[in-house]
Amino acid sequence: MGDAGLRLKKGAPDPVPAGSIFGAIEAGGTKFVCAIGTAPDALITEDTIPTTRPEETFARVADFFRAATRAYRTIEAIGVAAFGPVEVNRNSPAYGSILATPKPHWSGADFRAALASLGAPVIVDTDVNGAALGEYCLGAGCGVRTLAYVTVGTGVGAGVVTNGAPLGGAGHYEMGHIRPPRDAARDPFAGRCPFHGDCLEGLACGPAIIDRWGASLADLPPSHPAYDLEADYLAHFAATIVLTHRPDRIVFGGGVMKAAGLMERIRVGTKRLLGGYAQSDALAGDLSEFIVPPALGDRAGVVGAMLLAAKSRS
């Protein structure tokens, strides 16, 4: 048994409320958070496993769920909120596999095949769709019809949930790769996206900030020009999401958003870019109720993964 099993208490398991047990995996580029629970807000136990090579990480994930099954009971379904790109079309033979990615070793890594021996259905969506679902059902999106969730961290991405379902087309959305205008005089940085250079992710992700200024945004003084530049790119993103999806609210999460005052600057920039167009109650005022931080904090992903599992069995 790997380390995962050690997190479960020795001896008789804690009493578990009646009902089905679901599994959740928030699969990130640096770590996998695995959990079981009877509901998204009733987790029983969890463990964090580093993202190394697929065969190693998947083996430890499977160990965790095997130990959980032994200690409690059969897992009904496992939800995965995965870094992408990942095949989310359930009719595709590649459903549940990571698609071509610059992340070494992970192109083609197949969640459903790797976890098949557990005997539970595995439902796979993107990390941002999982987080959007978590915030929609149990966080900052409670009560709204359409919620967008944006993450700004090692990458930039967004998911949109309408009426409880993540939206997508032939594949999941790739909104983080839109091309905001870049003024080369103001921002000579060519961007770091391996596919597009100066797409939004290439310009505004956390590593792009470090590439330019040698520090993360939160470690730069609020008067540093990095703040306004970052806010302008992200305001372009928010305005684009407003124009294409008309959400009732946009949640901005991820490590870069922890920089003090960034959220307020994005609100101001979004208001300016919309120019009074696309009016609604949500877009009146200073947008303090429209562009908001995650209510679930860093938990949105694992909560969303468990929602994917629970919804699949309801």
Please give the residue ranges that form the binding site for Zn ion (CB under 5 A). 177, 193, 195-196, 199, 201
CB of 159 to Zn ion, least distance (A): 17
Rounded to a whole number of angstroms, the distance between the first and last alpha carbons of the chain is 32
Distance CA 243, CA 261 (A): 24
Q: Which is nearer to Zn ion, 46 or 174 (CB)?
A: 174
CB of 306 to Zn ion, least distance (A): 30
Q: Quote the DSSP letter at residue 144.
A: -
Contact 83, 205 (CB under 8 A): no
Q: Which is nearer to Zn ion, 177 or 311 (CB)?
A: 177
Distance CA 109, CA 103 (A): 11
Q: Which is nearer to Zn ion, 84 or 294 (CB)?
A: 84
Contacts within 8 Å (CB) and 24+ apart, 101-110: 102/194, 103/29, 105/53, 105/54, 106/54, 109/54, 109/58
Q: Which is nearer to Zn ion, 199 or 306 (CB)?
A: 199
CB of 199 to Zn ion, least distance (A): 3
Distance CA 235, CA 103 (A): 28
CB of 194 to Zn ion, least distance (A): 8
CB of 191 to Zn ion, least distance (A): 8
Q: Which amino acid is at 94?
A: A
Q: Which is nearer to Zn ion, 76 or 187 (CB)?
A: 187
CB of 216 to Zn ion, least distance (A): 20
How many angstroms separate the most distant Cα atoms in the chain? 65
Unique residue bearing structure tokens 């468990």 = 306
Q: Quote the DSSP letter at residue 9.
A: P
Answer whether the bond into residue 85 is a cis peptide, omega within 30°. Answer: yes
Q: Which is nearer to Zn ion, 177 or 212 (CB)?
A: 177
Distance CA 55, CA 246 (A): 41
